Structure 1
Amino acid sequence: MATVVAFVVAHVLLGEPRPLLAALTALLVVQFTLYQTVRHSWQRIGSVVAGVLLAGLLSSVFGLTWWSLGVTVLAALIVGQGLRLGDHALEVPISAMLVLAVGSHTSAGLGRVYETLIGAAVGVCISLLAPPVYVQPAADAIGDLAEQIGRLLKTVAADVEQGWSHERALDSLRRARGLEDTVDGARRALAEAEDSLRLNPRRRVAHVPRTLRSRLTALEYSTIHVRVSCRCMTDRVEGVPAAELPGAEVRQPLADLLDASGDAVKAFGELVGSDVAGPAGDDSRLRRAVRRARELRDAASSAMLVDAQREPEIWRVHGAVVGHLDRLLDEIDPDAEVVAHGLNRHTPATSAVTLFPRLSSASLRRRRPGTARAVPRRAVSGRAPAAR
């Protein structure tokens, strides 16, 4: 629509029989948001004006030869980069060469500037008629991220319950790494939502809740904790014979913790939509889910306890799994001291108390039968393994 309107307006105002440059400008400057449309319009106008002025200046001094053309193009590229014209930087040398290609520099240059101005103005006016707002898509993207994290945790729980094998753990790690694409998509959606309200006359009736940014940050950290937990679980069973894999007395409490954590993340994601639709939603379901997950965390800590002196590698891997799942719950817990974001928060040094809450030093020294397992050479030695 903007292309056709720009063509007609330029034809009427300039008397140009084929004002294709105006139509092309309108096509290029209209973007998804009003702010982006205005920004692209200024960049397009600046590139054309810079190219026309540069061509007129250099052609009047050097004329048109093969070497002056090269100088003009080089200068135009430098000017385009210096003015930070973005995707329209190449329009500077293009405009300069098109002006040099005709005999009358003044008329050709002014005509190109006029058509560009008309095309940009039409593009901005068309965008002002119904400027879009992308707040709901951002909330949907963040909610989808929470849904995927929760679904992955519940799938990992089912795999652990059926049998904690290296193949299943490695598959879970691959899926956890794949969450990064969803995180990137949520970031882009939120940035687009914030851009859609800049310069938008509808910003008084539509807004991006500040909780969206904090909830996305919480889910970003949660994704890291899930990925590191899956990395630890993969290291724990890599190279371990089938007969020596963790038994049901270890797998079941860990599976219950993973499943409950998945429910908590899903409940956290359901609050995102309510932030956009109206007043903050009821977080009672989230509180119950987090409380249940913390209770199961204590049970999993007891079930996964091994002697820290005799099996330090196993103790550290088990502790890293429980520790990162506990940090995940901290990210989404509405009662936590720092909720929904981990900025400015430092991870405390790992210790037996933080990894295995509510366990005494005497119980740390007591060895549970059937838990002394070999661990691979790549197991953690001193701190939680990096997400790879």
Structure 2
Amino acid sequence: MRRSASRVRESLPAILQIVVAATAAFAFAHYVLGHPAPLLAGVVTVSSLGLVRDARPARVLETVIGMIVGILVAELIVLFAGVGWWQLAITLSATLVVARFLSPQASFAIAAAIQSLIVIVIPANVPFLRLLDGLVGGVTALLVTALVPRSPLRAVTRDGRALFAAFDGAAATLVDALRQGDRRRAERGLAKARALQGTVDDWRTALESGAAIARISPFLRRQRFEMQRQARIRDAMDLATRNLRVIGRRVVYLCDDGAARPVAAELVGELRRGADLIAQSLDDISFEPVAREALRAVATRLDPAVLAGPGAVLDQNFIGALRPLAVDLLTATGLPPEEARAALPRM
């Protein structure tokens, strides 16, 4: 029940956008243009906007073009061949061939085919009337994308928090494995680290979509800086998750002997706490310098020879593997990469 309510709450901006756009398209086609039943004006609007995560204007425009192509092909066939079962077969075949020629996206072809099917099945007395309805719906969808945006920053920040929560869970499991010398727990931590890429990709999609909307919407100009800041954090966290997978594999090797490694566990724990401060900076930028200093304090101590001692090759290699992760996390706080690397002790 809670997940269902959360899903509805997250979709409310998209629902509002779709309702406004479909109503406006229908009203314009019906009351201004005088079309008796402008079905496709609403259908094109709803289908092009949708409830998908990626609401970029380019994606909306591509979907609109696909549907217009389907309507146009069907209108031409109806004009010259009429309607019937064999005309339906020809229309669908022609639409799918044209659509696949124009775009590599399978969704483009399906959108075109659905609209051509509607044109064939539902008759109209005036040629190309439905094409005009489709154009009205497409233009309305694009206008509403800019004028009634979906508050993309909220979705972007939510996806960013999801990544940091998953990163924290993986790091916490690895810390516990190091403290207990538990190989099975280490393998669970590695599995969690390997599962992070999907969350990284979700954040990337949300950021790209939000940035594209912010570029055309006059109401979202103030969100551009925050979008750019979170894009910088995401780029650094993409590298950090990759390095966490490397660290996870090394933790598995270290735990083969069943010995506890409190020093290594504490170092990973401190990096984990720094990442948590970065996560808090998504909502409050004042946490960014706090995270930077906390991570710098860890980075300056990452000297394998000092922390692991002579002869402990596996432990030295592990502490050496923490250095790139520290650099990635420092970069996520806004520190230039060269300054982040300079924070590490010389080896």
> Fold-level match, TM-score > 0.5?
yes
Corresponding residue for residue 156 of structure 1: 174
Structure 1: how far apart are the matches of 2:85 and 2:63? 33
Corresponding residue for residue 321 of structure 2: 324
From the superposition, tell whether residues 179 and 339 of structure 1 become closer, same or farther in structure 2 (CA, over 3 Å): farther
Corresponding residue for residue 82 of structure 1: 101
From the superposition, tell whether residues 253 and 37 of structure 1 become closer, same or farther in structure 2 (CA, over 3 Å): same
Corresponding residue for residue 270 of structure 1: 280
Structure 1: how far apart are the matches of 2:40 and 2:91? 22
Q: Determine if the alignment matches structure 1 residue 292 to structure 2 residue 297.
A: yes
Structure 1: how far apart are the matches of 2:113 and 2:128? 16
Per the alignment, in what secondary structure is the counterpart of residue 206 of structure 1?
Answer: helix
Aligned length: 317
What is the CA deviation profile of residues 33-75 of structure 1, one whole-angstrom value per residue up to 9, with x for unaligned ones? Answer: 4724444334332332243235546x39xx9895x76555433
Corresponding residue for residue 28 of structure 1: 47
Question: Which structure dedicates a bigger proportion of its chain to helix?
Answer: 2
- Report matched runs for 1:241-256 at 5 Å: 245-246=258-259, 248=260, 251-256=261-266
Structure 1: how far apart are the matches of 2:289 and 2:146? 42
Q: Determine if the alignment matches structure 1 residue 194 to structure 2 residue 244.
A: no
- From 240, 243, 266, the equivalent of 1:225 is 243
Q: Is the 8 A contact 1:47 1:85 kept in 2?
A: no
| C-alpha deviation, 1:94, in angstroms | 5.1
Q: Is the 8 A contact 1:34 1:124 kept in 2?
A: no
Q: Is the 8 A contact 1:30 1:123 kept in 2?
A: yes
Q: Determine if the alignment matches structure 1 residue 207 to structure 2 residue 224.
A: yes
Corresponding residue for residue 130 of structure 1: 148
Aligned Cα root-mean-square deviation (Å): 3.7
Whichever of the two has the greater Rg, that structure is: 1
| C-alpha deviation, 1:171, in angstroms | 1.8
Structure 1: how far apart are the matches of 2:236 and 2:95? 45
What is the CA deviation profile of residues 146-201 of structure 1, one whole-angstrom value per residue up to 9, with x for unaligned ones? Answer: 3542454344323322x112112112212222322322222222122112213212
From the superposition, tell whether residues 48 and 296 of structure 1 become closer, same or farther in structure 2 (CA, over 3 Å): same
Q: Determine if the alignment matches structure 1 residue 178 to structure 2 residue 195.
A: yes
Corresponding residue for residue 66 of structure 2: 43
Structure 1: how far apart are the matches of 2:28 and 2:191? 55
Q: Is the 8 A contact 1:144 1:269 kept in 2?
A: no
Q: Is the 8 A contact 2:163 2:200 kept in 1?
A: yes
Identity across matched positions, percent: 21
Structure 1: how far apart are the matches of 2:166 and 2:84? 61
Corresponding residue for residue 8 of structure 2: none
What is the CA deviation profile of residues 249-278 of structure 1, one whole-angstrom value per residue up to 9, with x for unaligned ones? Answer: xx1111111111112222333334345xxx
- Report matched runs for 1:2-21 at 5 Å: 2-13=21-32, 15-21=34-40
Corresponding residue for residue 270 of structure 2: 260
Per the alignment, in what secondary structure is the counterpart of residue 207 of structure 1?
Answer: helix
- From 160, 169, 173, the equivalent of 2:186 is 169
Structure 2: how far apart are the matches of 1:299 and 1:288? 21
Q: Is the 8 A contact 1:55 1:96 kept in 2?
A: no
Q: What amino acid does structure 2 have at the position aligned with 1:113?
A: L
Structure 1: how far apart are the matches of 2:296 and 2:222? 37
Unaligned runs of 5+ in 1: 276-280, 308-314, 343-353, 359-388
Q: Is the 8 A contact 1:253 1:300 kept in 2?
A: no
